[in-house]
């Protein structure tokens, strides 16, 4: 079922999840993977750029989690996996909004995990390092050393397969052999 929603608009998010729950009888899994990055010095970043990053990467996750929690509680549990970034703990220049959003996402994930774990809802966050995508306008050619999107997806699938008695709540994944001069 395809359902369009802007994660920065709570009414659209709520409507999408309500439609999915009605169609499938509930919601078991939420993967928060929407994300944007603006890579420019703070002095040159516009207020709108700041809001685009924070509202998508952090507020959007809050909206999605808030919208699915009643559905998951009704079913007796579920999984919420938030895709973060190592930038959330390893800040770097010209990425203040992005790093702040991912740092906030990490703290949000930790707090939410503690709030809902006794409801059978497991919350985890995955912090990939450099991933070979066009994210942020970076070229993919010559970046074979980076993680592939499939590497990150495999971590998510592995989390979903964990026995219900365990809660791996934070996973870091990084390229095995980055360039020696690489910062991330």
The continuous run of DSSP H or E covering 128 comes out as: strand 121-128
The continuous run of DSSP H or E covering 52 comes out as: helix 47-54
Grouping H, G, I as helix, E, B as strand and the rest as coil, residue 102 is: helix
Beta-strand relationship, 121-128 and 29-32: unpaired
Residues annotated as catalytic are: 98
Q: How far apart are CA 127 and CA 129, in angstroms?
A: 7
Q: How far apart are CA 48 and CA 43, in angstroms?
A: 13
């Amino acid at each position: 079922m395809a359902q369009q929603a802007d994660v920065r608009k709570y009414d659209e998010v709520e409507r999408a999840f309500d439609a999915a729950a009605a169609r499938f009888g509930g919601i078991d899994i939420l993967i928060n993977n929407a994300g944007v990055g603006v890579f420019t010095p703070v002095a040159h970043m516009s207020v709108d750029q700041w809001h685009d990053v924070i509202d998508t990467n952090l507020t959007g996750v809050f909206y999605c989690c808030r919208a699915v929690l009643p559905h998951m509680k009704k079913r007796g549990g579920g999984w919420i996996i938030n895709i973060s970034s190592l930038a959330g703990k390893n800040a770097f220049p010209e990425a203040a909004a992005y790093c702040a959003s991912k740092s906030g996402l990490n703290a949000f994930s930790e707090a939410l995990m503690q709030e809902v774990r006794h409801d059978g809802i497991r919350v985890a966050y995955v912090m990939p390092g450099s991933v070979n995508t066009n994210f942020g306008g970076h070229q993919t050619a010559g970046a074979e050393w980076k993680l592939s999107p499939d590497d990150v997806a495999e971590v998510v699938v592995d989390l979903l397969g964990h026995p219900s008695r365990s809660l791996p709540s934070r996973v870091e994944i990084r390229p095995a052999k980055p360039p020696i001069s690489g910062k991330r």
